[in-house]
Amino acid sequence: MTRVVNIHPESPQHRLLVQAAEYIRQGAIVALPTDSCYALGCRVGDKEALDRIRLIRQIDDRHHLTLMVRDLSEIATYARVDNAQYRLLKAATPGSYTFILEGTKELPRRVLHPKRKTIGLRVPDHPVALALLEELNEPLLTTTLQLPGDELPLTEGWEIQDRLDEQIEWILDAGHCGTEPTTVIDLTGPSPELVRAGRGPLDLFGFD
């Protein structure tokens, strides 16, 4: 049975973060709040958990997953970033943006796009997500918690439990956190390309 944990959205209880991080290290999938909407997350190197997330979302390996990191300094470890890209990232993080970047050899090949060798990266602006990343002391591999056939992501803990009971191990329920996913920007080309307009404002990147 999936465990639902009520966690404070602004001052998350440390003991709950310790427990969640330990379960993730042991192979758990967790539903966690972010500054855009709830996400599913697991440990980067956990192939079984990754396969289960893809099954839940019914997505294949061509669907970009998102590496959620604590801060901008971690992004350079997992993605190739030039000076122009770094300036854009610095202006937009933390925030409700996912950036498509070329992955480095620090990442398992199975988490990258099979042809482009790219991955989504983001620095969330939510106390629970950031505190969990700090406790885990490594990135989380994540995807928007939007189930097949649904028009919007799930946004209530009870609803997540009702739909995913026994398919995931933990729900960090911080209350409603929105249904608008991140804005996705592809930074692998000569200029930023808008992939998906979401919660993050577009003016930082010169889009209308």
Residue 143 resides in a domain: yes
Residue 78 resides in a domain: yes
Residue 68 resides in a domain: yes
Tell me the pairing of strands 183-186 and 193-196.
antiparallel
Range of the domain at 148: 3-198
Render pLDDT for 122-174 as a digit per residue (tens, 0 to 9). Answer: 999 999 999 999 999 999 999 999 999 999 999 999 999 999 999 999 999 99
Residue 208 resides in a domain: no
Residue 206 resides in a domain: no
CB 98 within 8 A of CB 150: no
Q: Where are the beta strands (DSSP E) in the chain?
A: 3-6, 30-32, 39-43, 66-68, 97-102, 118-122, 140-144, 170-173, 183-186, 193-196
CA neighbours within 13 Å on the CB side: how many for 123?
Answer: 17
Model pTM?
0.95
* Res 76: pLDDT: 84
Q: How many domains does the chain have?
A: 1
Find the CATH number of the domain harbouring 127. Answer: 3.90.870.10
Residue 204 resides in a domain: no
Q: Which helix (H) or strand (E) holds 77?
A: helix 72-78
Render pLDDT for 35-74 as a digit per residue (tens, 0 to 9). Answer: 999 999 999 999 999 999 999 999 999 999 999 999 998 9
Residue 148 resides in a domain: yes
Residue 205 resides in a domain: no
39-43 β-sheet, strand order = 3-6, 170-173, 30-32, 39-43, 140-144, 66-68, 118-122, 97-102, 183-186, 193-196
